[in-house]
């Protein structure tokens, strides 16, 4: 049995982190405790499995959106990840309060594994839902389909694990199922590979595929390198292209964020995720952060020829970013006119 305690304060953690290539600056936890959904779940930011229990105590956050809005307002600039969800959402309402409060704060919002009833009434460019397709792909896709059917941008996140999700057959099936459920993307995740993380990976698979447990244990713990190579990433990318899915989550755009700024920051985030050079990736992430913090519409600055004067990064990066800003700004202006 799960005992729910009512929390008075909004559980929010500020820290710049990465969500499948997208920059977030905060996480909001409507429910605290690993008890709301029994079994293993994979955290898309920490990139490790944790196990929920069927009994225990869980703290449900405030059901007043204003409390979450106040907790999430102010600096630093950037998106927030809300979740994960809880099966008691229809009774407790903490997830929806956190989601609405995050939107009111002016931030872009990513929803981690939400129950459909935990989302706002209507979809918007400010919100993107993500569902990790492990360990139970079918259950994740059912929630994804329910959310996508309401018009929310939604998609899957796929941990690439040697001996489990690294075959062409597994990837093709996952991509096909995600597309059929209404996903807009299927983004790869690289799991943490230390000893504890490996043990939890083995336990998570054993829970859903017990027949594979013994062989998988030997491969994970005695099979040498655990990281998947570029060939597996290429398999996923090719399958996603065939299904017209992106390998990056849609970039959530806050209600006050200029469309051109969002487009430029999105491309910088993607280039950072694709880079094999740690220094280069940090530079690209810093450039995306700078755009988020500026706030004003940089497409106007770019059109006036002043962007390279204010952009504090290399000339090559400034030139590419300027082109994105001008193109995206023109596209946004066309939509407004039309």
Which pLDDT tens digit goes with each residue over 287-297? 999 999 998 89
| CA dist 57 → 7, 33, 34, 173 (Å) | 12, 7, 9, 37
Query: Of 127, 141, 7, 4, whose CA–CA distance to 64 is shortest?
Result: 7
pLDDT at 337 over 70: no
Top-confidence residue, 56 or 210: 210
Burial (0-12, 13-18, 19+ Cβ within 10 Å), 53: middle
Mean pLDDT score, 163-172: 94
Residue 33 lies in a domain: yes
Determine the structural domain holding residue 281 and report its residue range: 259-337
Residue 50 near residue 24 (C-beta atoms within 8 A)? no
* 230 and 266 fall within a common domain: no
Q: What is the pTM of this model?
A: 0.91
pLDDT of the residue at 59: 83
Least confident piece of the model among 69-73, 118-122, 249-253:
118-122
Most confident of 1-15, 42-56, 229-243: 229-243
Q: Which of 52-61, 108-117, 311-320 has the lowest mean pLDDT?
A: 52-61
| Residues 154 and 266 occupy one common structural domain | no
What CATH number is associated with residue 146?
3.20.20
- Least reliable range by pLDDT among 15-29, 97-111, 312-326: 312-326
Q: Is the pLDDT of residue 35 over 60?
A: no
pLDDT at 95: 94
User: Are 309 and 213 members of one domain?
Assistant: no
Reported as half-sphere exposure (CB side, CA atoms, 13 A), residue 156 has a value of 32
Q: How far is CA 278 from the centre of its chain?
A: 21
Task: Please compute the mean of the pLDDT values over residues 117-129 and round it to a whole number.
Answer: 91
In a domain, 152, yes or no: yes
pLDDT at position 308 is 92
Tokens of residue 109, six digits: 């919002």
Neighbours of 12 (CB within 10 A): 19
Q: Order of strands across the sheet with 31-32?
A: 2-6, 56-60, 31-32
Q: Note the pLDDT tens digit of each residue in 80-101.
A: 999 898 888 887 889 999 999 9
The terminus-to-terminus CA distance of the chain in angstroms comes to 55
Per-residue confidence at 60, pLDDT binned at 50, 70, 90? confident
Residues 297, 260: Cα–Cα separation, whole Å: 7
User: How many CB atoms neighbour CB 336 within 10 A?
Assistant: 8
Q: What percent of the chain has pLDDT over 90?
A: 66
Please indicate whether residue 295 or residue 305 has the higher confidence score (pLDDT). Answer: 305
Domain-located, residue 78: yes
Instruction: Identify the band that residue 32 occupies on the pLDDT scale cut at 50, 70 and 90.
Output: confident
Beta carbons of 147 and 117 less than 8 angstroms apart: no
CA 227, distance to chain mean position in Å, is: 21
Domain end point (choices 209, 242, 275)? 242
Residue 1: the pLDDT is: 58
How many helices and strands, by DSSP H and E, does the chain display?
A: 13, 12
Average pLDDT over residues 162-175: 94
pLDDT at residue 336 above 50? no
Comparing 26 with 323, the larger pLDDT belongs to 26
Question: Cα-Cα-Cα-Cα dihedral of 268, 271, 277, 278, to 10°?
Answer: 50
298 and 236 in one domain?
Answer: no
| Mean pLDDT of the residues in the chain | 90
Number of domains in the chain: 2
Q: Are residues 313 and 182 part of one domain?
A: no
* 253 part of a folded domain: no
- For residues 109 and 80, the answer to whether their CB atoms sit within 8 Å is yes
Q: Per residue in 178-229, pLDDT tens?
A: 999 999 999 999 999 888 999 999 999 999 899 988 888 888 877 655 667 8
What pLDDT score does 335 carry?
Answer: 56
């Amino acid at each position: 049995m799960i005992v729910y305690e009512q929390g008075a304060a909004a559980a929010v953690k500020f820290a710049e982190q990465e969500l499948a290539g997208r920059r977030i600056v905060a996480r909001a936890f409507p429910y605290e405790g690993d008890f709301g959904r029994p079994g293993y779940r994979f955290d898309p930011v920490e990139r490790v499995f944790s196990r929920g229990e069927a009994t225990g105590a869980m703290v449900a956050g405030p059901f007043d959106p204003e409390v979450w809005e106040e907790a999430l307002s102010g600096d630093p600039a950037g998106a927030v990840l809300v979740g994960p969800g809880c099966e008691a959402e229809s009774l407790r309402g903490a997830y929806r309060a956190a989601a609405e409060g995050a939107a009111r704060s002016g931030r872009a919002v990513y929803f981690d594994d939400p129950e459909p009833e935990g989302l706002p009434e209507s979809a918007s460019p400010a919100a993107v839902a993500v569902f990790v397709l492990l360990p139970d792909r079918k259950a994740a896709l059912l929630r994804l389909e329910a959310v996508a059917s309401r018009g929310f941008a939604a998609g899957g996140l796929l941990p690439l694990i040697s001996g489990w999700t690294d075959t062409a057959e597994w990837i093709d099936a996952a991509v096909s199922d995600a597309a059929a459920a209404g996903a807009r993307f299927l983004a790869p995740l690289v799991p943490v590979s230390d000893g504890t993380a490996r043990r939890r990976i083995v336990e998570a698979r054993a829970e859903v595929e017990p027949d594979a447990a013994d062989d998988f244990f030997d491969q994970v713990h005695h099979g040498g390198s655990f990281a998947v190579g570029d060939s597996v990433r290429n398999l996923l990318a090719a399958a996603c292209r065939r299904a017209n899915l992106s390998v990056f989550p849609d970039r959530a755009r806050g209600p006050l964020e200029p469309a051109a700024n969002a487009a430029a920051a999105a491309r910088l985030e993607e280039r950072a995720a694709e880079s094999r050079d740690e220094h280069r990736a940090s530079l690209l992430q810093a450039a995306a952060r700078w755009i988020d913090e500026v706030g004003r519409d940089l497409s106007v600055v770019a059109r006036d020829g002043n962007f390279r004067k204010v952009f504090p990064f290399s000339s090559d990066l400034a030139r590419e970013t300027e082109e994105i800003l001008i193109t995206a700004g023109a596209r946004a202006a066309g939509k407004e006119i039309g």
